Amino acid sequence: MENKIPWYHKTSIYHIYPRSFKDSNGDGIGDLQGIIQKLDYIHDLGFESIWSSPFFASPQVDFGYDISDYKNTSPEFGTLDDALQLIEEVHQRGMRIIFDLVLNHTSDEHPWFKESRSSRDNSKADWYLWRDKPNNWNSMTGGNGWHYAKERRQYYWCSFLPFQPDLNWRDPEVKQTMFDIARFWLGKGVDGFRLDIFNTIYKDAEFRDNPFTFKLAPTPDDPSGYFQKMQYSQDQPESFELAKEFRQVCEEFGDKLTVGEITAKRNIVRRFAGDEKNDGLALAFDFEMLEFKFTAEFFRRLIGDIETHFHPPFMPVYVFSNLDKRRSIHRLGNDVRKAKLLHMLQLTMRGVPCMYYGEEIGMTNLKLPFNTALDPIPHKYKHLPRFIFDLLDVTVNRDEVRTPMQWDGTKNAGFSSAEKAWLPVHPNYMHVNVESESKDGKSLLNTIKTLMKFRSENPAILEGSFEFLEGLPTGVLGYARETDGQKLLALLNFAEKAQDVKLNFSEAVYRLTVRDEAQDGSAHLNGFGGLILSA
Ligand code: NOJ
């Protein structure tokens, strides 16, 4: 049978926050040459695709998610030539790279916005969303998202923070310009894009007020909160259409990976990937899993629901950490055994795994105060007592999950030769680092490496079907992955106690822990252990 699964549905994604990955020139800030220096590491880890957060020209108030020139780089990250070299070096290693495209908004320092705000009748007057009177819409970060510009005596709309004005995609010139920016980078060879807050790009044409809801705080799978349902400020019909149009723009350059950041319920996330066919975005993040609970029941429900929505030809993405939310191992009480099992699931599931830099070595949150945060968001909340956010278990200060990559046990964890890195290094770097974990056969890093290798060598995992195994003991999650000629069974024990499972299988082909074992007709799983059996 001809294999019809496109590369971007079989790939694996390693997410780099460039500011924190590797500093090549000693200024305390990670950069593009730093990424290039570490490409062999990522290749060796087994990831095919790299997603880098933005490094385009920007005043860096939201560290690159506020762009002032989409076709150039910010000097602290390097030059345009460095970006081109990065693409080339990635390709030389048989890997792929996707850039992070912020289509929804620009920086308020972007020349387009400067012109737009200067008067009501300049050539860019309609490039942003201007209103004489604000409506009731809240921004995604809380509080009214309309901001006054005295030059026009009008308000402009910001879905995120006040220095990130939203573009007006109903203006055909804006749309063409943004499509051409995508074409510019595709022409330079990038393999696709991660698309920032894609579902907020279109807003209601009539700017109707958003309705009331009792929901207090936004959640990763639903931005409604602060007593407001985001009915008219996101997920508009035109945005679903845009997913298809944008896909076509990308396909002018061949098979490209597009992955949307969509903060919405699963049925909506799915619609961004297409209706019947996967002709919208190639992939879309599903953020309920960022708030995973470490139980077999949670994952059984989650995966079951994901399989219902993202059945073939759609492909889900499995992501447990990112630049905005708590790191996965932090959620697991920093228990490495649990992290290994979580990633065993991530790397054997039907879906594209997306790993945030440092997740592979178990980098965890670094608790940092709000009032000295470099991230602008906590400054909105610093008057409130910190324990409220800790109780709600939300990351407000995103610096906490963006600390420098821990390469070794030397100064600044080998991230930078500067006196001081842009953010503090987590003090656990003396033992949580790439160098020491590489030497330890049982480390999280080596477990992930082995799993990545296993994944790449087994078609049942890369392109096989998925089915739950039934009748397992409480706390054990089991599933079969099958393709023509290969059937694998995965057993994952989310309980701390060892458990025995009766099953028909022929041999154990992967053991998560040293003692997990299989004998004819029964499998023994250690606490938090996992096995893959060949059926
Ligand atoms: C989502 C990104 O993940 C986040 O880091 C950024 O601040 C906002 N979009 C605004 O662009």
Tens of pLDDT along 161-191?
999 999 999 999 999 999 999 999 999 999 9
C-alpha neighbours within 13 Å on the C-beta side of residue 258: 32
CATH topology of domain 2-105+172-203+233-369+398-451: TIM Barrel (3.20.20)
pLDDT of 506 strictly over 90: no
Catalytic site residues? 196, 252
Rounded average pLDDT over 75-87:
98
Burial 421-434 (b: 16+ CB within 10 A, else e): bbbebbeebeebbb
Rounded average pLDDT over 115-125:
98
Q: Is the CB of 196 under 6 A from ligand 1?
A: yes
Residues 514 and 442 sit within 8 Å (Cβ to Cβ): yes
User: Using CA of residue 245, residue 250, residue 252, residue 257, what is the dihedral sign?
Assistant: negative
Tell how far the Cα of 65 is from the centroid of ligand 1, in angstroms: 6
Rounded average pLDDT over 404-425:
98
d(CA 329, CA 432): 12
Q: pTM of the full predicted structure?
A: 0.98
Residues 51 and 259 sit within 8 Å (Cβ to Cβ): yes
pLDDT of 1 strictly over 50: no
- Domain spanning 465-534, CATH architecture: Sandwich (2.60)
pLDDT of 519 strictly over 70: yes
Residues 337 and 527 sit within 8 Å (Cβ to Cβ): yes
Ligand 1, residues 51, 62, 63, 285: which to mutate, most atoms within 8 A of Cβ?
A: 62
Q: Is the CB of 399 under 6 A from ligand 1?
A: no
Residues 377 and 404 sit within 8 Å (Cβ to Cβ): no
> CA 209, 211, 212: angle at the middle one, nearest 5?
130
Rounded average pLDDT over 142-147:
95
Q: Is the CB of 197 under 6 A from ligand 1?
A: yes
Residues 239 and 198 sit within 8 Å (Cβ to Cβ): yes
Indicate which residue's Cα is closest to atom 8 of ligand 1: 65
Residue with tokens 């890195």: 421
Ligand 1, residues 65, 68, 234: which to mutate, most atoms within 8 A of Cβ?
A: 65
Indicate which residue's Cα is closest to atom 5 of ligand 1: 324
Q: Is the CB of 102 under 6 A from ligand 1?
A: yes
Percent of the chain with pLDDT over 90: 91
Domain with CATH 3.20.20.80 in the chain: 2-105+172-203+233-369+398-451
| Of 254, 244, 83, 108, the residue nearest 183 (C-alpha) | 254
pLDDT tens readout for residues 446-465: 999 999 999 999 999 999 99
State the pLDDT at residue 3: 57
Is the preceding omega at residue 59 within 30 degrees of 0, hence cis?
A: no
What is the residue-averaged pLDDT of the chain? Answer: 96
Tell how far the Cα of 260 is from the centroid of ligand 1, in angstroms: 12
Ligand 1, residues 323, 374, 377, 400: which to mutate, most atoms within 8 A of Cβ?
A: 323
| Of 395, 399, 396, the residue nearest 374 (C-alpha) | 399
pLDDT tens readout for residues 212-231: 999 988 888 898 998 999 99
Tell how far the Cα of 323 is from the centroid of ligand 1, in angstroms: 8
State the pLDDT at residue 162: 97
Q: Is the CB of 160 under 6 A from ligand 1?
A: yes
Domain with CATH 2.60.40.1180 in the chain: 465-534
Tell how far the Cα of 142 is from the centroid of ligand 1, in angstroms: 14
Percent of the chain with pLDDT over 70: 99
pLDDT tens readout for residues 39-78: 999 999 999 999 999 999 999 999 999 999 999 999 999 9
Q: Is the CB of 51 under 6 A from ligand 1?
A: no
